[in-house]
Amino acid sequence: MAESIMDIEDDNFENDVLQADKPVLVDFWAPWCGPCKAIGPVVEELAGNFGDKINFLKCNVDNNPITPGKYGIKAIPTLILFNKGNVVDQVTGMVAKSRLEEAINKVI
């Protein structure tokens, strides 16, 4: 059964990501972004495969400009992997599922 990908906002980012008890992958996206829509199913599949070991969250950059600004996000989609409040890996653009699996496997 696939794990659901929750939405994250600026006001709960610190609690849900930086203070999380397990690694977190945050997908920074926007509804108008074609590549964001293209990578969405890949992230959903990964959530189904790794959802018991890592949290998957989506942050709409249009509605939440503070957090992307803090992390210097200039292009979307950008996926950032956090562990214990620290950035472990960052991927920008449409990438192969294997690239994301590689990043996840480093922290689980």
Q: What is the mean pLDDT of residues 97-105?
A: 95
| pLDDT tens sequence across 2-47 | 457 999 999 999 999 999 999 999 999 999 999 999 999 999 999 9
Q: Which of 47, 21, 40, 58 is nearest to 104 (CA)?
A: 47
Instruction: List active site positions.
Output: 33, 36
Pairing of strands 55-60, 86-92: unpaired
N residues, the chain: 108
Bond from prior residue into 77 cis (ω within 30 degrees of 0): yes
- Most distant CA atoms of the chain, gap in Å: 34
- pLDDT of 80: 97
| pLDDT tens sequence across 44-76 | 999 999 999 999 999 999 999 999 999 999 999
Pairing of strands 24-29, 55-60: parallel
* Domains, the chain, with CATH or none: 6-107 (3.40.30.10)
Half-sphere exposure of 15 (CA within 13 A, CB side): 5
- pLDDT of 4: 76
Query: How far is 6 from 58, CA to CA, in rounded Å?
Result: 6
